[in-house]
Amino acid sequence: MTTTPTSAAHQDAPLVVSGIGVVTPRGDRPREAARGARPAAAARAGDWFDHRTRLGPRGYKYLPAASQYFLAAAKEAMADARDEPDRWPAELRGAAVGTNSSAAALHEAMDRTVLAEGAAALSPVTAPYFSINLFGSRLATEHGLKAFNLTVTSPRVAGLESLETGARAVAAGRAAWLLAGATEEALDPAHAGHADSERGAVALVLEPLESVRARGGRAYGHCRVRSLFLPPRTAAAGRGAQRARQLIDAALTAWGAGPAAAPRVIAVLDGSPVGHAVAEALGPDAETVPAGAGALEPLLQAAGALAELPGPVLVVTAAAQGNLALALLTPPPDAPEAPDAPAPAAVPAA
């Protein structure tokens, strides 16, 4: 007799990342993509991405590029998990997508078409993507994810918030299996942030640790996310570093960790007052990665760290608008300790 999994049985089980999918111009291996230089925003998708080989010859040609990217990353993540999600009822499989710029260029092109030719000239395939929710909905339709599909658009932190929000829904009993990530497309060349555009997608499969163990799968590690807010006015007034330190310490304490929880800290920040405040709070030992215009880089750094996780890693990102997010990545309980893992070092106080 086969027992059908239920969400109630896994509400309190810790979720782990069991599959990683990365699709970027910097490469498709998580570590390679996380460490590579961001290519020029003007690079054509055809130079590095072919939807026919990534997804199939039919049904994808006219989808927006960011939708193609995320579908391809999700396909890679599920293949990496070496699992059949169909073993979970469709009602227990959820999806969450984070994005800032995936439809910006498309929407601007739609505006130009409507002004020049009228609404009747819009493509019937891409017109529904006027709603940003279509990126998550298309993924859910593709894979029969019926528990929920969420789209998060908070500046810069949206990718990490997709993990936080999706995991919260799982903890509430809405699902037992989660596919979450971020996708971005380059901004229109006329857009002010075009030079910092991001292009590509990251997808992660998350499920209960006991589920991964039962099928003999690989658990990369736990990924706990907390989103916070640092008022830009506070950052600009010179009190930002102190407040950021308080927020970070409070989140770590809530996780039962502490300031010395992670020997490696990766900070994905911009040059805004909020970014400067968070950088000061983290101290000079944090590895600083320049932020792009969208929500892809923080999740890309998390994916790269998960792929080689000898010990805890803290990924921190923030946006000029005040959004702040932390991702604490920790090896699963039964992971062997790396012999050359560095000793935990405290995150310096501001």
Token pair, residue 101, equals 């710029």
Q: Which of 171, 197, 214 is at the close of a domain?
A: 214
Domain for residue 48, yes or no?
A: yes
Domain for residue 84, yes or no?
A: yes
Model pLDDT, residue 41: 60
> Which CATH number characterizes residue 24's domain?
3.40.47.10
Question: CA geometry: angle at 95 spanning 290 and 43, to 5°?
Answer: 40
Token pair, residue 155, equals 């500046």
- 150 and 294: one domain? no
Q: Which of 254, 244, 198 is nearest to 224 (CA)?
A: 254
Q: How far apart are alpha carbons 179 and 346 in whole angstroms?
A: 32
- 313 and 292: one domain? yes
Domain for residue 349, yes or no?
A: no
Counted domains in the chain = 2
Q: Which residues of the chain have a pLDDT value below 50?
A: 1-4, 7-12, 338-350
Q: Which of 163, 180, 214 is at the close of a domain?
A: 214
Instruction: Answer positive or negative: Cα dihedral of 27, 32, 34, 35.
Output: negative
Strands laid side by side in the 221-229 sheet: 148-152, 93-98, 177-184, 200-208, 15-23, 221-229, 323-330, 313-318, 264-269, 287-290
- 34 and 103: one domain? yes
- 199 and 316: one domain? no
Q: How many CA atoms does the CB half-sphere of 205 hold within 13 Å?
A: 27
- 192 and 270: one domain? no
List pLDDT tens digits, range 153-198: 999 999 999 999 999 999 899 999 999 999 999 888 887 778 888 9
- 179 and 296: one domain? no
Looking at the chain, the whole-number percentage of residues with pLDDT higher than 70 is 89
What is the SS3 assignment for 317? strand
Model pLDDT, residue 185: 93
Q: Which of 172, 187, 214 is at the close of a domain?
A: 214
For residue 105, give its domain range: 8-214
- 118 and 234: one domain? no
Question: CA geometry: angle at 285 spanning 325 and 302, to 5°?
Answer: 40
Model pLDDT, residue 7: 47
Q: How far apart are alpha carbons 165 and 225 in whole angstroms?
A: 9
